[in-house]
Structure 1
Amino acid sequence: MRQDLAIKIEFQVLPKLSAMNTPQNGEWPPHPDRFFQACVATAAETEQDMSVLAALESQPDILASDAVCDKAPLRYVPENFRRSSGYHKGAAQYSPTVLPEKPTVYYIWRNVETELIPNLTAIVGEITHLGRASSMVIASVVDANTINPNLTPLNGAFKSSKMNLRCPYAGRLEELKRAYNAGQRSPQAQYVPYQSIQSMSPNHPWEDLIVLRPPTQLNGVHSTFWCEQIRRIVMSIIEIDIPSIISGHKEDENINHLHVAWNAIPNVGNKYAHGEILGLGCWIPKGIDARSVSMLWRALTKCRLDGQKLEADSSDLKSLRFETWSAESKRWATATPIALDRWPKKHTPIETVITNSILNLGLPAPSKIECNTHSFFNGAIPTFKYKTRNGRRLLTHAIIEWDQPVQGPILIGAERYFGSGLCRPILS
């Protein structure tokens, strides 16, 4: 059997990674061969079976944020061994610092033999740094189904790509071993052109998630109420010159412009779930300016419910990660009920109403929709218990299927800006 292998690299400090041919420039994302060599070195140092690393002798897909890689100045540093007894100004060295938006990188190798995964996991877990020893990392194997890569090897001419990354290839492991045994430096790996992965829904509006933990357990039945509360509190904290992207109101009274969607993330999809609210915050639309994001964050961290502040998630709950709600899938299901924007009629059944809502989001038409009073996900609040802002709306849960994978987050219906109609990918 074979399965996809996803490896997560979390930098604990700002990465100091020099580009191979232009050392004054920083390298981002870290080239796959840099990671591969770290695996080989780690396996040797910990006396593990490095032959399993042959399974990684190919070009992985990558998920990495953008980064600023300014040129580093030339510096002279002390040497461990003096070349002469006379004056020496030291070794010339560049030490560029990379400033990524998110200091985490994921590599996804496809169709790895399942029986090799435990040994690969053991090697990965022992990696302490990438490149320089000062670039400390925590490496781990994670669920590949939750990772949505944004870079993939390009099938085409070398010059057609703006990003070329050194990657392992068949025989790379033996090549590195021969160089080590001969006392030589590692030979440079081949460059492979990469391209950005274009989502099936290029006009998808949501770019990120800001979420904080409530001080006490909140009932998911009242999700829309808590979303309204958070919005009201944020607006009262900002008070003056509130950007329309936060308030949802424009001077021309256009209510269809893009703005944040307030959320109450429910606990669903596990055997202990009861639909309680795990996090409160908002979905961030694409194109929002840095000033508005900063304003939002400061206001949310000042919010108080029952006199207690919202707190950052220190336990890294899976349900509060953006990837959990944005991973590509052919099948999606509602975690909170959809509040239909119109009532079904004789010639406009409920499935058609939902399809029209989906099309209005810029998503393709689904191939199948199944409606129910209960969600596919365990613990989700059923429609007959869920409270909405407008009590006259018809509510439904749904399982929605497409012929091709669709990327989230997906928010559907009339009250999608207040926690309703939140969908989650079905990953099996």
Structure 2
Amino acid sequence: MLTIEVEFLMGRVTLSQWEDRTQAEWPPHPQRLFSALVAAHGELDGGEAFERALRWLERLPAPEIKVDLLPSLRTSPSYFVPVNDEAVKAEKGRSDFRHVLDRRNRQERFFPTVVPNDPVVTFQWPVASGFEDHRDALSGLVENITYLGHSSSPVRACLRAQAVLPTLCPDEEGSFSLRVPGAGRFDRLVSVHSLREEDESVQPPLGRFQSYEPPDVVTPNVFSRDAIVVAFAGGPRLGLDSTLPLMQHMRNAVLAKLGPSPEVLSGHDDKGNMSRKPHLSIVPLPFVNSRHSDGSLKGAAFVLPSDADEPIRHRLSAALTQTWQLHLGPLGSIAVAHVDWESNDGLKSLNFSKYTQVADTWATVTPVVFDRYPKSKGPTAAEIIAAACERIGLPKPLEVMISAVSAISGVPRANEFHGRSKQVDNRLRQHAVIRFERGIKGPVILGAGRFCGLGLFMPLGKSKP
């Protein structure tokens, strides 16, 4: 985890929106923080360690933010301000006896201001694999930030050891749109700085935008939204119906690469028994939910529990970074390659964000495996599904509909999914649609087969306001 605390020492903040210079920007966009860190690097000339830290930071997911959401906003009248350090060119044969300050051109400026109840803003990355490698460099950069926004807004900044409760979290359906850094942002800022030495009108591009929402709008669950995604390249063409045996085979292959593994990865305790705690789930990423969907598998996502620590995430990610072969016996082999699903411009099926959106209605991509059989006197099928929701930290759904057929196009019938395992043998498998009172945050993976690819849901509707 990486947490950066920024305190505005004047108790007020002067900064303008990029699209309207007369209006104040609040909360400060994460990209402003990154730009301030790059500026500190330029002033300190920190060398390769600082540069590596910034390149690492720009590739992290968008941070959570703890900020006062109800500050006092003050619009600004226009001021005509002399241009700093402008060269004064005398005309031939003429002298200008005005004072040098009077000879400078004036340009219109605005200084919109925010007065928050709490002058401290915190940016937090819950998942920051590799942070310890860059801790010293980041600490040096953060502690040398002098201001954020306008130069009249001096700050004190530091790394925090303790986590905070955020007031804004990244959310694809969120109502706040903030600029965040992305891969290549450091190089772009350095390039713009060089261009500005010749032409001060050059401005850096806006960059990437990320939607945010207060965390109490949605309900999290035990599964992390930050999955590690791999693509299947070449080899036999497999469909969703082969989810169970393929995900089991992939788990075994990855665990063989990892060697002796803790319970959160292996799914077994020290005695070899199946774990009762949340652990690694491997889910299929198929071509579904579009006009020409055929249910073919394009890749898989490795989804860890939300509370998995950084060394575990780093170890799993390192094992999946290099392309490797998954051998399927007589069927041949599949090349398994890691992909960056957040910036992936290729197959939409490999973008895991479609499973992590906020929605109030969800439908199965792979059937739910019931942990017990429904009975006429109870528990009913709806009650079993509701209990499965509560088991992973979700609220009880308002409505549960069970069917042999999925509401998602391109998905096979429930009885067409084959394969055997101790978790699912002799258990009922059904597709389902569940509806909650309000939007909940994915991923939604339910039932007895949730750790081996079954019980994966996809949103059918957006969150209600």
* TM > 0.5: yes
Secondary structure of 2:436's match? Answer: strand
Contact 1:329 1:405 in 2 (8 A): yes
Contact 1:372 1:398 in 2 (8 A): yes
Establish whether residue 223 from structure 1 lines up as the match of residue 243 from structure 2: yes
Percent identity (aligned): 21
Aligned match of 1:359:
390
Secondary structure of 1:384's match? Answer: helix
Establish whether residue 333 from structure 1 lines up as the match of residue 363 from structure 2: yes
1:203–1:211 distance in 2 versus 1, CA, 3 Å:
closer
| Structure 1, 192-201 or 326-335: larger mean CA deviation | 192-201
Contact 2:240 2:295 in 1 (8 A): yes
1:247–1:334 distance in 2 versus 1, CA, 3 Å:
same
Aligned match of 1:198:
215
1:61–1:266 distance in 2 versus 1, CA, 3 Å:
farther
CA distance in 1, matches of 2:249, 2:66: 42
TM-score (norm. length: structure 2): 0.57
Displacement of 1:385: 1.1
- The count of aligned residue pairs is 313
Secondary structure of 2:338's match? Answer: coil
Of the three residues 266, 281, 303, the one matched with 1:247 is 266
Contact 1:263 1:280 in 2 (8 A): yes
Secondary structure of 1:280's match? Answer: strand
Aligned match of 1:315:
345
CA distance in 1, matches of 2:79, 2:247: 55
Contact 1:266 1:277 in 2 (8 A): yes
Displacement of 1:388: 4.2
Establish whether residue 370 from structure 1 lines up as the match of residue 393 from structure 2: no
Aligned match of 2:282:
262
Of the three residues 318, 325, 350, the one matched with 2:381 is 350
Aligned match of 2:325:
304
- Unaligned runs of 5+ residues in structure 1 are 1-18, 23-30, 42-53, 78-95, 106-148, 159-168
TM-score (norm. length: structure 1): 0.61
1:251–1:58 distance in 2 versus 1, CA, 3 Å:
same
Displacement of 1:321: 2.8
- Looking at CA atoms only, which structure, 1 or 2, has the larger radius of gyration? 2
Contact 2:78 2:108 in 1 (8 A): no
| Structure 1, 228-237 or 388-397: larger mean CA deviation | 388-397
Displacement of 1:103: 5.2
Task: Write the mapping of 1:91-170 to structure 2, written as runs, cut at 5 A.
Answer: 97=54, 100=57, 102=59, 151=65, 154-155=68-69
Establish whether residue 426 from structure 1 lines up as the match of residue 460 from structure 2: yes
Displacement of 1:358: 1.3
Of the three residues 396, 411, 416, the one matched with 2:430 is 396
CA distance in 1, matches of 2:291, 2:226: 27
- CA root-mean-square deviation: 4.0
Of the three residues 414, 421, 432, the one matched with 1:383 is 414
CA distance in 2, matches of 1:225, 1:32: 58
Aligned match of 1:113:
none
What is the identity, as a one-letter code, of the residue corresponding to 1:100? L
CA distance in 2, matches of 1:279, 1:182: 58
How far does the alpha carbon of each residue in 1:173-200 deviate from its partner, in whole angstroms, 9 at most, with x for none? x859999995155525425567233344
Displacement of 1:246: 1.2
CA distance in 1, matches of 2:7, 2:80: 20
CA distance in 1, matches of 2:58, 2:82: 36
1:422–1:74 distance in 2 versus 1, CA, 3 Å:
closer
What is the identity, as a one-letter code, of the residue corresponding to 1:198? P
Contact 1:179 1:187 in 2 (8 A): no
Contact 1:265 1:277 in 2 (8 A): yes
Establish whether residue 280 from structure 1 lines up as the match of residue 300 from structure 2: yes
1:330–1:281 distance in 2 versus 1, CA, 3 Å:
closer
Contact 1:261 1:416 in 2 (8 A): yes
1:201–1:277 distance in 2 versus 1, CA, 3 Å:
same
Aligned match of 1:291:
311
CA distance in 2, matches of 1:32, 1:312: 42
- Unaligned runs of 5+ residues in structure 2 are 1-5, 46-52, 84-104, 122-166, 169-213, 327-331
What is the identity, as a one-letter code, of the residue corresponding to 1:419? G
What is the identity, as a one-letter code, of the residue corresponding to 1:227? M
CA distance in 2, matches of 1:295, 1:32: 43
Contact 2:14 2:112 in 1 (8 A): no
What is the identity, as a one-letter code, of the residue corresponding to 1:183? Q
What is the identity, as a one-letter code, of the residue corresponding to 1:336? T
Displacement of 1:367: 0.6
Contact 1:331 1:425 in 2 (8 A): yes
